Amino acid sequence: MGNILELKSVRKTYQDHVAVNDVSFNIPKNCIFGLLGPNGAGKTSLIRIITTITRADSGSVILDGEKLSSHHPSVIGYMPEERGLYKKMKVGEHLIYLARLKGLSKKDAKSKIDHWLVKFGITDWWDKKVEELSKGMQQKIQFICTVVHEPKLLILDEPFSGLDPLNTNLIKDEIKELKEKGTSIIFSTHRMEQVEQICEHIVLINAGQNVLQGEVNEVRHQFKENLFEFEFSGTLPDFIANEYEVISVDSGKVIFKLEDDQQSNLILKRLIDAGVYIQSYKEILPSLNEIFIKQVNEKS
Amino acid sequence: MDKLWLIIKREYLTRVKKRSFIITTLVTPLAILLFMLVVGVIFSYEGDESKKFAVIDESGILTVRDGNDLRRRIGDKQKMNTRIYFKYPKTSLSELMDNFDKEEYDGIIVLPSIQNLKTKNYEIFYYSDNQLNIEINYTLEQLLARGIRDYKIEKFGMNKDDLKNLETKVNLEPKPISDKGEDASKLTSIVAASIGGFMGFIMYLAVFIYGMMVMRSVMEEKTNRIVEIMISSVKPFQLMLGKIIGVGGVGLTQLAIWAILIPIITLAGTLLFGYQPPQAELAAGMPEMMDPEDAQIMALAAFEEFRRQNWLLIVPVFLIFFVGGYLLYSSLFAAVGSAMSDDYAESQALTIPITIPVVLAFYIMIVAVRSPDSSLAVFASIFPLFSPIVMPARLAFGPPFWQVALSIVLLIATAILFVWITAKIYRVGILMYGKKVSLKELGKWIFYKE
C-alpha cells in the first residue's frame, strides 16, 4: 500500500525553544492516524510543517512519494484547532472561495459544494451570512471547506471541539466514510477515548519528540501488564488468592496479575473445574489514556 | 498567480458591495458640498444684534464737514455698518449713567478733546457694565479712528480728496523672459497651491483611511482565526499582497467615483441653489476688500488658470504617487495589524511609528505649498516616506523633471522593499497569539526563518 506521509528526522526550532525535535514516523495510506500529545508537545508545529505553512529546519517530509512542495496544499485538507470563517461572507460564496483557493474551478467547486450541502441537508444556507449561523453550524461549513477538494490527506486538529454529540457523530461518520473512499486522515487530539474509537495507527508526541508509535492494538498489547479480570458467581476457590497475585476482589469481580500470560487459559480451566460459574473472563489492556499519561509522566 | 487574483477579487468585491461603502462613497461628496455651504454661511454671517451707544463728544471731533459745508455728526441717529447706532445726547455723563438702564443704551462713549494733533495714541473711554464682543469692539475702534482721521485732516487743513489720490494699488504682473517660460498670471501660484494642497490632503487621507482598512482587516482575519485556514491554501505573502491590492482597488474606485461625482454635484448645486462656491469663498474670506465684480473676474481668471494646468501630466503622476505611497504605508499597516492581539486599544500604540511620518509629511506639505522650491520641500518630495504626500503638492508648480523621476524611482523601490520586509513580519505575526508584541520584537521577526 505504501505510505501517504513519511517524516524523517524532522526538526523545527523557534527562537527560544525546540518545537519539533527529530521526529520520524510514517503514516500508511488509507488509514486514520492519531497524532497525540499533551498541549504544547509540538503537534501544531508538526502539522504546520506538513501543511507547508512553515518549513522544517532539517529532515524530510515525503507526501505520497514526493518531497513536500508548494503545490501540495491542493491535495491536503486542513482543519485547524482554532478555526474561523469570514463572518460577513455568505455561506455559498465562502465555500466557493475556499474551494477555488484549493485549485478547483468555479463549476467544480459549485457542484462539489452542492453535494455536501445536500448531504448535510443544509442547501438553504447558501445565501445566509456566516455570522447568522450558530457555532455548530459553522463547524459543518468548516468541515465542508476542509474536504471539498477531495484531499488525499486530511488533517483534523481537534475536530470535535465545540461540537454537540449529534454533530460529533455526524462528522465521525463522515470521517469513516472518507476513509473508506481512500482518504488518509491525520487526527490530532488529546482526547484518548476518541482515538481508541476512530484511529488505527497512532504516534505519541511529547516535548517535541515521538515517544511511541504503532497500531492502536499493538500499542495496547505492548503496554499490557498481564492483568486479567473475571466475573463469577459462587464461591471463589482458595488457589486464586494463594497462587496468584490478586489485585482486587469485589462483589463477584476479580482482577489478578500473571507473570506469564500463557497461564491464563489454565486458570480459566481450573476455575471451571472448581465449579465456579464464570460470567466473563478477559485480559485487561491498558487504555490509550493510561499509556498516554504514563508515557508523558515518565518523560517529564 | 491565480490564487492572488482570487484574493484580490474577494477583498475588493466584499468591500465594494458593502452597503456602508456605497453610502460613504455617495454621501461624502454631498457632505463636502454641504460643509462648504455651511462654512460659507458661517463666514458670511454677521451678528444680528444691534447696539446703541451714547456718545459724549464735547470738542466735536466726530462732527464732520460734508460737501456743502453742512456739518453732521458721524452716525447721528442713523445706522452705521448695519448695526451700530450712535446717539449724541445733550446730558452729562453722570446723568447718563444714572439713567443708563432707562435709555436702553449699550454703552457710553466719551471722547476727550485732543490736545496734540500729532498724537498717535488717543484714549476714548467706554462706560458699560457689559463687555463688548470682539467684533463690535473692533468695528467701533475702526469707526472712531476713521472719524478722528477725518478730524485731523480738517484740522491740519488738508484736502481729503488729495489724500485719497496718494493711495495706489499695485499689482505684480508676472511676464516670462524666455519663450520657454510660462505665461503665468498672478493667480498661477495661488491656483497651483490650492491644487497642490488639495492633492496632498487627498494623499494624506488616503494613506490613513485605506492603510487603516488594511490593518483592521488583517487583524480581523487573525482574531477570527480564518487566517490559518487561508494560509494552508495560499502563501502568507499572497494573502497580504492580495489584501493590499484589493483594498487599494477600493481606494482607487472611491477616488474615481468622487472625481466624477464631486464636479457633477457641485454643478447641480450651482444650478439648483444658485450657489457659486468660488465667489462665496472669496467673498467670505475678504469681505471688505473686494467688490463683487472683482470677485467675479478673479474667479474666472482662477478657473482659466485651473484649466491651463498640465492635467495630462499631473493626474498620472498623482496616481503613481498614490499607488506607491499606498503600497508603502499599507504594507506597514498590514505588518502592524498582524502583530495586534485581540486587545485593539492596547495594540494601537504600534501604529504610532507609522503615524508620525505621515503627519510630518502633512505639515511639510503645507509648507511646501507656500514655498515649493525650498530645500525642505525638495528634500521631502524625494524622501520616500514623505514624497507620496509632498510631491503631489508640488506637482502643479512644475517641479524639475529629474526630481519627479528620482522621487518616483525611490518611492517604488522603497515600496517594494517595504512590502518584502513587512511580509516577513506578517508571516510570523498572523500565527502569533496571546502575546503582547513590542516594536523591537517586530524587528526581530524580519529575521525569523520560515
Distance from CA of A90 to the nearest CA of B (A): 10
Which cell goes with B280? 462665496
Calculate the CA B240 to chain-centre distance.
34
Say if residue B112 is in the same domain as residue B217.
no
Say if residue B226 is in the same domain as residue B374.
yes
Identify whether B44 is part of a domain: no
Write the CB contacts of A253 (distance below 8 Å, at least 6 apart in sequence): A229, A230, A231
Write the CB contacts of A262 (distance below 8 Å, at least 6 apart in sequence): none
User: How many inter-chain contacts (A to B, CB under 8 Å) are there?
Assistant: 64
Q: Are A85 and B224 inside 8 Å of each other by CB?
A: yes
Supply the pLDDT for residue B314.
86
β-pair type (A153-157, A76-79):
parallel
Q: Are B433 and A82 inside 8 Å of each other by CB?
A: yes
Identify whether B142 is part of a domain: yes
Other CB atoms closer than 10 Å to residue A42's CB: what's the count?
A: 25
**What's the whole-number mean pLDDT along residues B165-190?**
70
Identify whether B42 is part of a domain: no
Q: Are A83 and B444 inside 8 Å of each other by CB?
A: no
Distance from CA of A115 to the nearest CA of B (A): 22
pLDDT band at B71 (very low <50, low <70, confident <90, very high): low
Q: Are B6 and A97 inside 8 Å of each other by CB?
A: yes
Of B3, B6, B229, the CB nearest to A80: B229
- Given B133, B166, B199, the domain boundary residue is B166
List of chain B residues whose C-beta atoms are within 8 Å of the C-beta of residue A88: 14, 18
Interface of A with B in 74-93 (CB under 8 A): 74, 76, 78-80, 82-89
Say if residue B203 is in the same domain as residue B336.
yes
Write the CB contacts of A291 (distance below 8 Å, at least 6 apart in sequence): A204, A212, A219, A220, A223
pLDDT in tens, B219-254: 989 888 899 899 989 999 999 999 999 999 999 999
List of chain B residues whose C-beta atoms are within 8 Å of the C-beta of residue A53: 228, 231-232, 431
Supply the pLDDT for residue B369.
86
Torsion of CA B323, B329, B335, B337, to 10 degrees: -100
Looking up residue B81, the CATH number of its domain turns out to be: 3.40.190.10
Which cell goes with A6? 513519511
Q: Are A53 and B444 inside 8 Å of each other by CB?
A: no
Identify whether B345 is part of a domain: yes
Question: In this model, does residue B75 exceed pLDDT 80?
Answer: no
Write the CB contacts of B283 (distance below 8 Å, at least 6 apart in sequence): B44, B290, B292, B295
Identify whether B306 is part of a domain: yes
Residues A75 and B393: their CA atoms lie apart, in Å, by: 52
Identify whether B43 is part of a domain: no
Residues A27 and A33: beta-carbon distance below 8 Å:
yes
**What's the whole-number mean pLDDT along residues B356-369?**
92
**What's the whole-number mean pLDDT along residues A191-208?**
85
Say if residue B252 is in the same domain as residue B193.
yes
Identify whether B107 is part of a domain: yes
Say if residue B231 is in the same domain as residue B379.
yes
Question: In this model, does residue B360 exceed pLDDT 90?
Answer: yes
Say if residue B221 is in the same domain as residue B368.
yes
pLDDT, mean over chain A:
87
Say if residue B283 is in the same domain as residue B371.
yes
β-pair type (B51-56, A277-284):
unpaired
Say if residue B14 is in the same domain as residue B72.
no
pLDDT in tens, A145-179: 999 999 999 999 988 887 888 888 888 999 999 99
Identify whether B297 is part of a domain: yes
**A52-66, A123-137, B79-93, B423-437: lowest mean pLDDT where?**
B79-93
- Given B100, B135, B166, the domain boundary residue is B166
Residues B418 and A42: their CA atoms lie apart, in Å, by: 32
Report the first-to-last Cα separation within chain A, whole angstroms.
Answer: 37
**Within chain B, what is the greatest distance between any pair of CA atoms?**
98
pLDDT, mean over chain B:
81
**B231/A contact by beta carbon, under 8 A:** yes
The dihedrals phi and psi of A90, each to the nearest 5 degrees, come to -80, 150
Residues A122 and A92: beta-carbon distance below 8 Å:
no
Other CB atoms closer than 10 Å to residue B161's CB: what's the count?
A: 7
By CA distance, what is B226's nearest residue in A? Answer: A84
**A195-209, B68-82, B226-240: lowest mean pLDDT where?**
B68-82
Residues B18 and A150: their CA atoms lie apart, in Å, by: 33
Supply the pLDDT for residue A99.
94
What single letter denotes the amino acid at residue B98?
D
**A148/B contact by beta carbon, under 8 A:** no
Task: Tell me whether residue B88 is exposed, middle or buried, using C-beta atoms within 10 angstroms of its C-beta: 0 to 12, 13 to 18, 19 or more.
Answer: middle
**What's the whole-number mean pLDDT along residues B194-213?**
88
**A129/B contact by beta carbon, under 8 A:** no
Query: pLDDT exceeding 70 applies to what percent of chain B?
Result: 83
List of chain B residues whose C-beta atoms are within 8 Å of the C-beta of residue A142: 229
**B224/A contact by beta carbon, under 8 A:** yes
Question: In this model, does residue B287 exceed pLDDT 60?
Answer: no
**What's the whole-number mean pLDDT along residues B258-287?**
61
**A241-245, B67-71, B322-326: lowest mean pLDDT where?**
B67-71
Of A78, A86, A87, the CB nearest to B232: A78
Say if residue B326 is in the same domain as residue B433.
yes
Distance from CA of A146 to the nearest CA of B (A): 9
Residues A219 and A295: their CA atoms lie apart, in Å, by: 12
Query: pLDDT exceeding 70 applies to what percent of chain A?
Result: 98
Q: Are B449 and A57 inside 8 Å of each other by CB?
A: yes
Residues A187 and A175: their CA atoms lie apart, in Å, by: 10
- Given B138, B166, B194, the domain boundary residue is B166
Helices (H), B225-291: 227-231, 236-273, 277-285
Residue B112's domain spans which residues? 51-166
Supply the pLDDT for residue A289.
82
The residue of B228, B424, B430 whose CB has the most chain A CBs within 10 angstroms, and thus the best one to mutate to test that interface, is: B228
**A196-205, B58-67, B98-107, B154-163: lowest mean pLDDT where?**
B58-67
Residues B12 and B248: their CA atoms lie apart, in Å, by: 8
Residues B67 and B105: their CA atoms lie apart, in Å, by: 31
Q: Are B230 and A101 inside 8 Å of each other by CB?
A: yes
Residues B95 and B105: beta-carbon distance below 8 Å:
no
Residues A113 and A95: beta-carbon distance below 8 Å:
yes
Which cell goes with B94? 453722570
Query: pLDDT exceeding 90 applies to what percent of chain A?
Result: 31
User: Would you say the C-alpha torsion B306, B312, B313, B315 has a positive or negative sign?
Assistant: positive
The dihedrals phi and psi of A258, each to the nearest 5 degrees, come to -110, 150
The residue of A68, A90, A101 whose CB has the most chain B CBs within 10 angstroms, and thus the best one to mutate to test that interface, is: A101
pLDDT in tens, A255-294: 888 877 667 888 888 888 888 888 888 888 888 888 888 8
pLDDT band at A192 (very low <50, low <70, confident <90, very high): confident
Residues B427 and B338: their CA atoms lie apart, in Å, by: 8
Residues B433 and B423: their CA atoms lie apart, in Å, by: 18
Could you give the number of structural domains in chain B?
2
Question: In this model, does residue B282 exceed pLDDT 50?
Answer: no
Say if residue B95 is in the same domain as residue B243.
no
**What's the whole-number mean pLDDT along residues A40-55?**
88
For chain B, what's the residue count?
A: 450
Domains of chain A: 3-221 (3.40.50.300), 225-284 (3.30.70)
Task: Tell me whether residue A100 is exposed, middle or buried, using C-beta atoms within 10 angstroms of its C-beta: 0 to 12, 13 to 18, 19 or more.
Answer: buried
Say if residue B270 is in the same domain as residue B304.
yes
Higher pLDDT, residue B102 or B382: B382
What single letter denotes the amino acid at residue A266?
L
List beta partners, residue A3.
Answer: A28
Say if residue B289 is in the same domain as residue B364.
yes
pLDDT in tens, B149-159: 888 888 888 88
**A260/B contact by beta carbon, under 8 A:** no
List of chain B residues whose C-beta atoms are within 8 Å of the C-beta of residue A98: 229, 233
Which cell goes with B70? 453742512
Look up the ipTM and state it.
Answer: 0.84
Residues A78 and A142: beta-carbon distance below 8 Å:
no
